[in-house]
């Protein structure tokens, strides 16, 4: 995975609630982080009218776990949009340790825009797509 578009970064501490019985970050926490950074990225770039009319649902998640993160690690979540069509956004995410840039996990997700009112798929305008992907 290489970033070819604008990369959005968000710091995240590893909290005690993130740790499982194997004493490392639980796999479901990585999934939450992928969703949290995608949402933050959308809110940082999408115009207010798009945010109020468009929601997002996940069509597919693929996560590759590289090295386990542990309590006390400071995480940097990095995300960017790959291919973006009117009805699908491909998003990439990396989970890295802030201290040494160690890659913990990487994900590819496919998101579908929905109309907040109807819950049905909706189109994203070319103007909004251009803010995230070329």
Token output for 111: 């998101």
- pLDDT score at 133: 76
CA distances from 3 to 20, 29, 73, 91 (A): 31, 23, 24, 10
Burial of 134 (0-12, 13-18, 19+ CB in 10 A): exposed
**Count of alpha carbons within 13 Å of 54, Cβ hemisphere only?**
24
- pLDDT score at 6: 83
> What's this model's pTM, rounded to 2 decimal places?
0.91
Rounded to an integer, what distance in angstroms lies between the CA atom of residue 105 and that of residue 84?
Answer: 23
Q: Strand 103-115 and strand 54-65: pairing?
A: antiparallel
DSSP 16: G
Domains of the chain: 8-132 (3.10.129.10)
pLDDT by 10-residue block (mean), the chain, 134 residues: 71 97 96 97 95 96 97 97 91 97 98 96 92 76
Query: Tokens 């949290």 identify what position?
Result: 36
- pLDDT score at 134: 55
């Amino acid at each position: 995975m290489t970033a070819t578009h604008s990369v959005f970064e968000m710091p995240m501490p590893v909290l005690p609630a993130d740790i499982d019985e194997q004493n490392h970050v639980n796999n479901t926490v990585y999934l939450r982080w992928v969703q949290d950074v995608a949402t933050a990225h959308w809110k940082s770039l999408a115009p207010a009218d798009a945010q109020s009319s468009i929601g997002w649902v996940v069509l597919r998640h693929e996560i590759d776990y590289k090295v386990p993160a542990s309590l006390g690690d400071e995480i940097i979540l990095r995300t960017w949009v790959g291919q973006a069509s009117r009805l699908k956004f491909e998003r990439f995410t990396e989970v890295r340790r802030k201290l040494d840039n160690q890659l913990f996990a990487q994900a590819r997700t496919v998101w579908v825009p929905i109309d907040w009112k109807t819950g049905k798929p909706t189109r994203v305008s070319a103007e909004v797509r251009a803010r995230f992907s070329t």
